[in-house]
Chain A
Amino acid sequence: MRLIFIFINSFFIISTTIFSQQHEKILLVDGYLHVGNEKVLKTAAIGIIDGRISFIKNSTAYTPSASEWDTIIELKGKHIYPGFIAPNSTLGLTEIDAVRATRDFDEVGTYNPHIRSQIAFNIESKIISTIRTNGVLISQATPRGGNISGTSSIMKLDGWNWEDATIKKDDGIHLNWPSSTSGGGWWADPKPKTQNKNYETQKSEIYDFFELAKAYSKSNKKKKIDIRLEALVNCFKGNKRVYIHADELQQLVDAIDFSKHFKLKYPVIIGGYDSHNITRLLTDNNIPVMLKRPHSLPENENDDIDINYKLAYLLQKDGVKFCIQNEGDMEAMNARNLPFLAGTAMAYGLTEEQAIKSISLSTAEIIGIANDYGSIEKDKSATLFVSNGNALDMRSNQIFMALIDGKFMSTSNMQLELYKKYSKKYNNKQ
């Protein structure tokens, strides 16, 4: 049976259930395509077969034959984006911040590379349903705490369980670089922060641990398996990334030294508040940065009030590879605002397509999934969404439809359900 959907402007046309896979040959026509790599195609025809993009053509020069497709969707006036990616996030690992029982992102221990987020990822999280409806379709489930928090995995935001939600298992370990300032007390009794006297010691402790792991990774016949060190073997082999969380200048330059010392193949800086001061060092060493949440206050009184807004532009200008991430207060629920973080970076210097890239292709490249995700290009996975307008602006980010690996994703969520439920209450009253 062949279906031709001509979606007009109907918001809830894709119902709440995940479509069973009947749509194997989908054609999207006439939409405004934002490829993700800074290129656009104003009237795009996108062929999707078995979840992959089979071709991208200009609609005006292409007449589809209806018989070749089981679904054709007309997208005139709408915008097509690659599924946005929320890296470095506890999304799926936490549900209610204040309820301890729902928090699954911070394990006991200082060096926890063996701790894996993948298996704790709750695909049924109510929060997740509200994230993807803003165009964020992929996340990097990331543990927190300790010196090495654990190993993250790249997840799709739709699926039956963590197994089929996994895009890339164990993509990298997360190393929290010690701060060059310390102290601070606890929240009810804060003390002033001071210069961290133990900084050098803490730094060498990390070096020692990595030396140990490096030696371990070189031994061919292991007498006994050390699960902790085993988790680092791939970091030295170069097929696991090392994400170094660092913000201050001292941390950043030391983290770069560290990556060089251990000849890490894929070091990534996460945070990088001061990274604009060392752009040359970053480009010379080819180290990408996942930028601190643009919607953050400046760290210091004297800093430029818009420093976090314009940080992306400062790195773009100097040719540093970067993407935008969202770690911070209420980061799980806030992941849905990722498009607007990029939007703010756009207002402060990035072009629209650069801003899109900073939450799609750049992110995919940095976390190592760019062969399949991050942009809408031939042979890549059909993980994309269509918005009625500019998805980086709050007013026009209106999800019309979304595909994850070519499957239609529900564009509803529990919040929308409550909205409908209570709208009914009032409508019935009148």
Chain B
Amino acid sequence: MKLFFFFTFLSISISIFSQLTPQNGVLKSEAEFYALENATIYINPSEKLSNGTILIKDNRIIKVGKSLNIPKNAVVIDCKEKVIIPSFIELYSDIGIPKRKRASNSNSIKYDRDSPNSLYWNEAIHPETNAADLYLNNKKSNESLIKKGFGFALTHQTDGILRGQGALISLGTNQLILKNNLPASFFSFEKGSSKQRYPSSLMGSIALIRQCLYDAQWYTNNNFERNLSLEALNKQISGVLYLKTRDKLDILRAEKIAKEFNLNFNYIGSGNEYESINEIKKIKSTIVVPINFPKPYDVKNPYISRQIPLSDLKHWEMAPQNPAILSKNGVKIAITSKDIKESKVFWANIRKTIDHGMSIEKILKALTISPSISMGLEKEIGSLEPDKIASFIIYNSDPFKEETTVAESWSMGERTVYNRKNKSKINGKYIITLDDIQLPIEIKGDPNKLSGIVTYKRTIDGVTRDTSSKAFVELTGNNITIQFNINNTELIGSVNLRGKINTKFGVFEGNGFLPNGKWIKWNAIKSEKNDKGEPNKKNKFYIDTSNYTWFPNLSYGFKEIPKPETIIIKNATIWTNENEGIIENGMIIIKDSKISYVGDMNHPIPKLGRIIDAKGKHVTSGIIDEHSHIAISKGVNESGQAISAEVSIGHVVNPEDINIYRQLSGGVTAAQLLHGSANPIGGQSALIKLKWGYPAEEMLIENAPKFIKFALGENVKQSNWGINSGRFPQTRMGVEQVYYDAFMRAINYSKEWKEYKTGKRNKIPRKDLELEIIDEILNSERFISCHSYVQSEINMLMHVADSMGFKINTFTHILEGYKVADKMKEHGAGGSTFSDWWAYKYEVNDAIPYNASMMHEQGVIVAINSDDAEMGRRLNQEAAKSVKYGGMSEEDAWKLVTLNPAKLLHLDERMGSIKAGKDADIVVWTENPLSIMAKVNYTIIDGIVLFDSVKDVELRENNYKEHSRIISKMLSKNNKGDKKIKFIKKKNGHYHCDTIGEEKSTTENKH
């Protein structure tokens, strides 16, 4: 049914077009048939015809094949030596679409949309935008796409999160917009030109898309208030969806949304999909990959080049293989020319892709059939089979093999000639005969920019030498002009020649002037056959580097992802964190990712397994960081709203943060990745294990308890912003009311749903992601980790909690916890604090390093956390400070970074101590872990050895070798004169509690 529909609408729409436009004058004269003969024809990706003919009637292909019967009334076009390729289809384009206009000209950031109307509340959501309404012919950009080989472009306004509907343009003289009843619409995670503060982070964009999709579902049943945005979105949902990404991880993130809403996104890729091929290959839909491969860096200065991150170098090397790797793994890909301006570069990159293992067949498929299938138009466009639309490009030679030019473009039967006569390749050496004088000339260069060198003998002071002078050479059609100056005994001055070319014989002949004014006949005969002008057809040899992808693809990445092992740790001093205390000369057996035995050495050991002799070493459970902001992509704060419960760090875990490895080297095995502290109610946490080399989904702890970040004090009231941003709250007084308001709303919300579910209410309430999460807190399904400093606010929040019927699970930072430890104990709140930080802002004036000890003494469960990528790898040292400040016992001090955070995170059933049955998250230390001398020998997570101090040396070696291998490769490109770019140093930024926006901060941490 669907297919049939497509088949008809296009043919109708096209024939109607000509009827819709009134003619000025009599009807345009058209031939009934066109026959293109003697061409090499790529009929479709798998069929190539040499010396073939295409027969066209109106806008369709009638026949294609060898020795066809050509109707007598056909116009015959000779395409000898030419190559015909079906028009490519560009899926990502904004051709002919103006930039988005905003409702007001004000540039200031704001919280509400410019003027409330019947559109969605957030200006980044504008599915009602329709490219067809906005499209304006732009011949120049049309032509630029045609020169790249494209005949169709799906254009849209590339701005915002829900960008609206695209329009399929036929890029010819007529520039038609094709009817497309199955709308193609565009999504992204980028806010674009909207000046609204929300969303300010990637996780905010994800939450906004989800909320919007729920709103659209709800709207169908509740359309009393009209909303044009949601109406448009509801229409689009059943069509084709494209989601533009900035990283392969975005694709995996979007897949989660797709699953939640049963949608099918196609993706506009970013070019690094190969780095996560194991996950990407599971994607069923089409990925539109760019081929604007990174240019080599300028690496001549070694002082600079040594600073280039290995990840950038590796990507530079691997990027041209992205299409091939995806294809080999069965991913459906289309190719976009996005971000490539020049057709020359586009084609050079196409050929580079071929050199890197992609077959022409697959490339052609990715440029024609795949995009047409993804839009459901495969019956109409994408190949040159009979009955298909006659849209193709005629090239002067095969662009898949060498650089060439476009001779003609045919757009839905409309012919545009760019290079009417083939500019023959006339390069080579000739002998020009002028009367009786013979001069050798060499013609060089591109057919459009030829030049020549004339050689002759010249005698000065009795010495005769070969001299050469430059010649102007121009070929227009089959007319050639040659002009040069000469100075020898026979001729002095300018020689001007004009003539015709006879390509068959490689001969020029014509007339011209000699310097003496004599009008002569001339000719030029090829003196030697040039090598057909093939540009350095050397055997290109590319090393297949497809197995050079590391996991993750940066420094310290693994060549192969390590797997769980059976491990026996012998002769160890074991800090069990259990009643057994510290076991001297003990043994641990790890099997199936769990601890299967801990105790003395009198126990049978498995036959197979790695044995670690830990004589003289100390073994502990892994460090758990209750408060961390590493491994997060694009934004740790959703600062666009004071309450952002709907956002989740779980959506934006970044498994490629080098700090994961650095922290493994400090014995950290698990962490709570918290939302920042910009909002009284922040976002949901991600509880992860630091499984370096594994994808984000596998880092997330399975069935982890749910957590959310709350925050109090200076950060949420934006005290240190210098200006009053106008966002509520600006005082601690306001903060209290934010909570009351939010929880009241959540109570009402859940009441409405209860009423609806029990039939007391007819209308379905709107699903509100924010209130649902707050409701989870009220139902004790979600725990709170609250950023807090001074006793007044700590006290306040416990009062709010008590009166609204929920609990504060953890106060984090809690630097004045020692003042209210008794109250915390009574409420049942734990404290996760810094060992000794203070003096960084006013609210930490009374912070004391005895805090952990004092809270501990009052019976509060206390953890020491990092909130800092650097300190995160020295949490053992930080724990040891509690021995100094307050005289905590060593075993208790060690629990501050292991068992206690596990308890605070409700993970102590699985982690935090060494006990049979618990997760095998184990660290082997060179000595007492609280000692300043302690270093890590092994960090094991779920039985996987992820850090090994011996292997670490090997990984460093790999870094150096790989770095210098690729640098020398780049250097050879530099020396060849390839385009290069100046090194851009990646900022060594980190997320802090108060980092606003998607980018990391390099300024001081305000925590």
* Interface residues, chain A, with chain B CB atoms under 8 Å away: 95-99, 126-127, 180-181, 184, 187-190, 192-195, 248-250, 295-302, 304-306, 329-330, 332-333, 336-337, 340, 343-344, 346-348, 390, 392-398, 415-416, 418-419, 422-423, 426, 429
Contact = CB atoms under 8 A, between A and B. Distances in A.
A152 B65 CA distance: 87
A181 B555 CA distance: 22
Contacts of A302: 309-310, 555, 959-960, 963
A190 B987 contact: yes
Shortest Cβ-Cβ A-B pairs, 3 listed: A98-B841, A343-B932, A193-B985
A68 to B, nearest CB: 36
A188 to B, nearest CB: 6
B1002 A184 contact: yes
A394 B884 contact: yes
B9 interface: no
B555 A180 contact: no
A1 B555 CA distance: 69
Contact of A344 (B661, B932, B960): B932
A329 B988 contact: no
B878 to A, nearest CB: 8
A176 B838 CA distance: 28
Contacts of B930: 394-395
Contact of B870 (A249, A296, A304, A422): A296
Nearest to B714: A98
Contacts of B883: 394-395
Contact of B839 (A189, A194, A332): A332
B869 A180 contact: no
Contacts, number: 177
23 contacts: A97-B839, A97-B840, A97-B1006, A98-B840, A187-B995, A187-B1002, A190-B1002, A192-B986, A193-B985, A193-B986, A195-B983, A296-B870, A297-B869, A300-B306, A301-B554, A302-B960, A306-B665, A347-B933, A394-B880, A395-B880, A415-B848, A415-B850, A418-B846
Contacts of B293: none
A126 B848 CA distance: 12
B890 A395 contact: yes
Contacts of B956: 304
A188, A249, A297, A416, most chain B CB atoms within 10 A: A297
B1003 interface: yes
B866 to A, nearest CB: 12
A342 to B, nearest CB: 9
B777 interface: no
B1001 interface: yes
Given A194-B983, A415-B848, A330 B935 contact: no
Given A418-B846, A419-B854, A340 B877 contact: yes
A333 B982 contact: no
Given A98-B841, A302-B555, A188 B997 contact: yes
A99 B850 contact: no
B61 to A, nearest CB: 49
Interface stretch (B484-492, B530-538, B816-824): B816-824
B311 A301 contact: yes
B836 interface: yes
Given A181-B985, A190-B1000, A297 B884 contact: no
B932 A189 contact: no
Given A392-B932, A395-B884, A95 B871 contact: no
Interface in B301-339: 303-304, 306-307, 309-311
B1004 A97 contact: yes
Contacts of B931: 393, 395
Which of A337, A392, A395, A418: most chain B Cβ within 10 A?
A: A395
Interface of B: 303-304, 306-307, 309-311, 554-556, 658-659, 661-662, 665, 714, 719-720, 818-819, 821-822, 836-842, 845-850, 854, 857-858, 869-871, 874, 877, 880-881, 883-884, 886, 890, 930-935, 952, 956, 959-960, 963, 982-990, 995-997, 999-1006
A184 B821 CA distance: 43
Contacts of A393: 880, 931-933
A394 B985 contact: no
A186 to B, nearest CB: 8
Contacts of A396: 884
B1000 A248 contact: no
B880 A127 contact: no
B555 A301 contact: yes
A295 B303 contact: no
Given A97-B839, A181-B985, A193-B986, 13 more contacts: A180-B304, A190-B1001, A192-B987, A301-B658, A301-B986, A302-B963, A333-B838, A340-B932, A344-B874, A347-B932, A394-B930, A426-B854, A426-B857
Given A395-B890, A419-B854, A96 B840 contact: yes
Contacts of B306: 249, 300
A91 to B, nearest CB: 10
A297 B662 CA distance: 9
Nearest to B984: A192
Contacts of A126: 839
Nearest to B1004: A329
Contacts of B886: 419
A337 B880 CA distance: 13
A295 B874 contact: yes
Contact of A422 (B818, B837, B932): B818
Contacts of A336: 836
Contacts of A422: 818-819, 854
B658 to A, nearest CB: 5
A352 to B, nearest CB: 10
A260 to B, nearest CB: 19
Nearest to B982: A195
